[in-house]
Amino acid sequence: MATTEAQLVEEAKRLASFTAVDLHIDESAKVIGVGSGSTVVHCVTRLLHHHQKSPFKACIPTSFQARDLILQHGLPLGDLNQFPVIDVAFDGADEVDSSLDCIKGGGACHLQEKLVAMCANKLIIVADYRKNSQVLGEQWKSGVPLEVVPFAYVPVMERIRNLGGKPTLRMGVKKAGPVVTDNGNFVVDADFGLIRSPRELNQQLISIPGIVETGLFCAMAKAAYFGNKDGTVSKNEQGL
């Protein structure tokens, strides 16, 4: 039976996750950041393998989903107020450019993901081949996810239009009304086309009152691992 595209993607996620965890977990890594999304499920599976050999102090989740994964696998659960310094964090991405700037937030967890990334000595991105781009916006066409306070989402969207973006309030799939984040906020997806200066755009967006956080992760990742269709893993790294 021929391998389907979905099977190729899932295997690519597994390969990237296992490779990244094996290369960046050693006996000195005791506090681990656990990201969100389908790829990170494979990271948690591999983290359990390492935990059984050299136990961690704590795994810090970026979302309700990540918290559940940690507990389901019997890994030690912690939070940032207990462990404000994280040895290494593993997370997925919606897209990664050649400079390791990322778009994240397709799962509406980007505020907590960015807080964990900020506290991590190393942020390692794991993804499949579809997420690997030269410029942000090449592959990911859903825009930059922005966490926005519900009180002001309409004026915030107007400010985004003034910057040249096309904002859309993200609506729930199996609920009536908008998506609500773990923090009780709305998500606005802002399409800017190809983003050639993500760091400049991030500064413009975060300066708008009412935007709590952006899905642009700039100058945060130390390395990205991409599982490929042919069973190989490609690596992009900065400063490692």
Catalytic residues: 113
Structure tokens at 227: 């599982």
Q: Which amino acid is at 125?
A: I
- Give the C-alpha distances (Å, rounded to integers) separating 45 from 14, 68, 182, 194, 216: 9, 13, 24, 35, 27
**Residue 25: what are its φ and ψ, rounded to 5°?**
-110, 120
Q: How far is it, in rounded angstroms, from Cα 101 to Cα 132?
A: 11
CA dist 88 to 17, 66, 178, 187, Å?
14, 15, 33, 27
